[in-house]
Amino acid sequence: MTDAPIHSGTGPVAVTGATGKQGGATVRRLLAGGRPVRALVRDETTPAAVALADAGAELALADFDEPSSLAPALDGATALFAVPPVAYGPAGSNPELEFTRGRNLADAAAAAGVRQVVFTGIASTSGDTFAGSGKWRIEQYLREQIPLVTVLRPVRFMTNYLADFGIGLDGFVDGVHRHIFPPNEPVQIIALEDIAEFAALAFEQPDRFAGRTLELAGDSPSPAEAVAAISAATGVALRYEQLSHDEAAALNPEIAKTRELWISGQRWHADIEALRVIHPGLRTLADWLSEGGAAALRLRLLGAA
């Protein structure tokens, strides 16, 4: 399904995180499908916000830490795409603050009469959860407040290969992609555009998707295979290195803990083939590279050379 019309409801879909990755992709997909969009932003003058307005989105000022700003921003909206409000700093994640922000949004949505929410959180694992406690609490709270809730739980983004976090994790530094994962074991990944496709499907068919939780992935190459594919697509010599425990701990204790749990056998577990039945256009890494990922990576890699 690509750019099909989205007919459910007559009012706009409010989108949080609209100037970011998932929110931005969803705004573009909804607008392409003919659905009016209201992008909730903290600053209407940023280049990202101006680009949203130029694309046809209505802008509304809103701040999760100022609950009074959320109600007017959601007034008249019939649905909401909710990206978890980031609560992460040098000391690590802050799940309590994240939940508080999510609760503020859920309360404002309920008060505004929003009946449908698509919430995008974080992929669960096959064992005990090791991340995202704030997000999972928001999921539950939304279900208590809103009649129609669909939860998307995406795995690692393909665009993370473009990342430049400056911490020696993700992206490429001096031709090397470094991460916590063993080099020759599959790791599920997802294209942002496909998260937006599943959101669009949920908005188009609320009765079909309400109450459902979808673990989202589109491909599962090993890190070594993925880097080899990127190298071939960009023509740049690249390699993969797994972070040691001490290297991960030096970056952040949470990263080291996640590495330990991954090594112990916890894995994301999206059913890619079942997802492809719902969304036949689900992208592989090769698809993402051919659709512009390789060009963006080549520009980044050569620019850093």
Q: Is the pLDDT of residue 232 over 60?
A: yes
Among the ranges given (26-40, 125-139, 165-179), the one the predictor scored with the smallest mean pLDDT: 125-139
Q: At residue 9, does pLDDT exceed 60?
A: no
3-state secondary structure at position 7? coil
Q: Report the range out of 40-54, 89-103, 156-170 with the highest average pLDDT.
A: 40-54
Residue burial 217-253, b: 16+ Cβ < 10 Å; e: rest? bbbbbbbbbbbebbbebbebebebebbeeebbbebbe
Q: Could you count the other beta carbons within 10 Å of the beta carbon of residue 266?
A: 17
> Model confidence at 127, in pLDDT bands (50, 70, 90)?
low
Q: Using 50, 70 and 90 to split pLDDT, how confident is the model at 84?
A: confident
Average pLDDT over residues 73-87: 92
Domains of the chain: 13-223+255-304 (3.40.50.720)
The whole-angstrom separation of Cα 97 and Cα 86 is 9
Residue 220, pLDDT above cutoff 50? yes
DSSP 174: T
* SS3 (DSSP) at 37: strand
Please provide residue 87's backbone torsions phi and psi, each rounded to the nearest 5 degrees.
-135, 80
pLDDT for res 7? 44
- 165 — pLDDT class (breaks 50, 70, 90): low
Confidence of residue 8 (pLDDT cuts 50, 70, 90): very low
